Amino acid sequence: MQSSERPLPNGMLAQMSSVVLTARTVEQLTRPLLELLELVTGLESTYLTHVDVAGGVQEILYARNSQQMEIPEGGIFPWEDTLCQRALQEKRFYTDEVNVCWGESDAARLLGIRTYLSAPVMLDGGEVFGTLCGASTRQQPVSEQGLQVLTLFAGLIAQHLQRERLVEQLQMANATLENYSFTDALTGLPNRRFILAELDRLFAQGQRHGQRVMVAFIDLDGFKKINDTYGHDAGDEFLQAIAQRLRQGVRQGDVAGRLGGDEFVVVGLVDGVEQTHEAITAATRARLAPLIQGDYALRHAAFHYPGGSFGILCVDPASCSAEQALVQADAAMYRDKQARRQVEMA
């Protein structure tokens, strides 16, 4: 390889340090590095590619074209036809005789590439993300210093990509943990923590838009007997079946959740003021009660369930807090439970 030493541009190290420290995206890092790479190597085009080996294509992500050569940013080429694939396969990362070494490449002929150099952008585990490249239409030597800078820049881009990937993984993990913290493990419904947060949101929205909030507290009468008769596995299956019925049967916009044990809740907004509290609670009960009543064919048991107790409120958000509404709905549920027992005993 011929050597043609080019002095590092004044302030290059300071500029490179600034780029590395301040770049928030791969593009913000890469574009200044492509400019610096062009200054060091003197090549007409410098560019970063992404390789999709499974898809058999290579895409030009970012390109700097400072002279007559035009590497098309966003261009997609068959991977097997590219100079990058040949360079990786043969471990030949520089040549100023592309027409001699790889004259069969249609992409090289199309772009008029005579001088080419590249460095793989390698991620952890040996994964090839893509390549950092330089090219010219003329025969042009590149110094050892130029190749070192190319390798350094490819490494910096790889590190940034790894950092982005790590941040994405952490964000996904945080989202998963947050989802777990708001979800009842047995039924998959929102848990008490989520319901309280949702009630706060509904109360705030109701105050802004003049809407009332519906809170339906549900207790599964006879759940202990189901556990004692059929076993805890059947009890868990029953709770899961209840959750599925509520999930599928509530109004659009309502949220069904499990507070714990055999206690469930449904919350939502009520539009308009023309309906009375009694009409709304009666309609809500008529809608929810049939979801719970009925025959259950579980893996560990089969039985008819007569239904649960309900405490249903429709409240003005300005009159009480979300916590108070839940307490009031709980109290209404116990009154309903006592009334049902009196009927059964009569």
Q: Residue 39: which pLDDT band, with cuts at 50, 70 and 90?
A: confident
Q: Residue 1: which pLDDT band, with cuts at 50, 70 and 90?
A: very low
Q: Which two tokens stand for residue 143?
A: 């110094």
CB contact set of 62 (below 8 Å; sequence gap of 6+): 27, 30, 31, 34, 47, 48, 73
Rounded to whole angstroms, the Cα distance separating 212 from 155 reads 58
- Which residues belong to the active site? 262
Average confidence (pLDDT) over 197-224: 93
Q: Residue 277: which pLDDT band, with cuts at 50, 70 and 90?
A: confident
Place of tokens 């390549």: 131
Average confidence (pLDDT) over 289-302: 95
pLDDT in tens, 151-205: 999 999 999 999 888 888 888 877 776 777 889 999 999 999 999 999 999 999 9
What does the angle CA 276 – CA 282 – CA 285 come to, to the nearest 5 degrees?
140
Residue 273's pLDDT is what? 67
Q: Residue 9: which pLDDT band, with cuts at 50, 70 and 90?
A: low
Taken in order of first residue, the domains within the chain and their CATH numbers are 12-178 (3.30.450.40), 192-345 (3.30.70.270)
CB contact set of 180 (below 8 Å; sequence gap of 6+): none
Rounded to whole angstroms, the Cα distance separating 30 from 154 reads 9
Rounded to whole angstroms, the Cα distance separating 313 from 227 reads 30
**Bridge pairing between strands 76-78 and 57-65:** antiparallel
CB contact set of 276 (below 8 Å; sequence gap of 6+): none
Distance between first and last Cα of the chain:
103
Residue 7's pLDDT is what? 56
User: Between these two residues, 27 and 1, which has the higher pLDDT value?
Assistant: 27
